[in-house]
């Protein structure tokens, strides 16, 4: 088995697409209409275009338990998922320059350096650099 897709719940797919492509630098891979204004909208890393896809899932708009879970994670400050990076400090500076809101500045925690930002779509996302 291997991971080919991760799903991130978002409340506005268009807003999420803009954030994840323009600020984070991901590339749109698939954009298929599903009806009702929903899309099968996936992104990939520019460094690993054949790697796992991120599905910008409109689940919180259609499934109340998903919305409750997303709200609880956000309120508690827990990241929904994490993205690995080679340099947390450089990504932190680049994203701060793009007005991305961080709840945790780059912080060393034993064998990793971590930072956490808000994706503007209902999620905290953790950046992690293995030291």
pLDDT bucket at 108, cuts 50 / 70 / 90: very high
Residue 10 DSSP code: -
Tokens representing 72 are: 């609880």
Classify the C-alpha dihedral 90-92-94-96 as positive or negative.
negative
Separation of alpha carbons 38 and 36, rounded Å: 5
Homologous superfamily in CATH for domain 5-130: 2,3-Dihydroxybiphenyl 1,2-Dioxygenase, domain 1 (3.10.180.10)
What are the domain boundaries of the chain?
A: 5-130
Q: Residue 79: its pLDDT value, please?
A: 97
Q: Residue 94: its pLDDT value, please?
A: 98
Please state the rounded mean pLDDT for residues 77-100: 97
Tell me: the pLDDT tens digits for 9-67? 999 999 999 999 999 999 999 999 998 889 999 999 999 999 999 999 998 888 999 99
pLDDT bucket at 90, cuts 50 / 70 / 90: very high
pLDDT bucket at 98, cuts 50 / 70 / 90: very high
Q: How many residues in the chain?
A: 131
Q: Residue 85: its pLDDT value, please?
A: 97
- Tokens 């350096």 label which residue? 113
* Under 8 Å between Cβ of 24 and 120: no
Contact partners, residue 76, CB within 8 Å, separation at least 6: none
Q: Residue 6: its pLDDT value, please?
A: 96
14: Cα separation from own chain's centroid? 14
Whether 82 shows a pLDDT value over 90: the answer reads yes
Contact partners, residue 111, CB within 8 Å, separation at least 6: 130, 131
CB atoms within 10 A of CB 65: 9
């Amino acid at each position: 088995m291997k991971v080919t897709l991760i799903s991130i719940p978002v409340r506005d797919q268009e807003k999420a697409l803009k954030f994840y492509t323009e600020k984070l630098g991901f590339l749109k891979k698939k954009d298929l209409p599903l009806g009702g204004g929903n899309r099968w909208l996936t992104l990939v890393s520019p460094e690993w275009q054949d790697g796992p896809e991120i599905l910008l899932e409109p689940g919180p708009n259609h499934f109340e338990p998903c919305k409750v879970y997303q709200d609880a994670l956000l309120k508690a400050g827990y990241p929904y998922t994490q993205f690995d990076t080679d340099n947390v400090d450089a990504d932190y500076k680049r994203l701060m320059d793009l007005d991305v809101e961080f709840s945790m500045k780059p912080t060393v925690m034993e064998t990793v350096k971590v930072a956490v930002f808000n994706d503007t779509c209902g999620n905290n996302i953790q950046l992690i650099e293995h030291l």
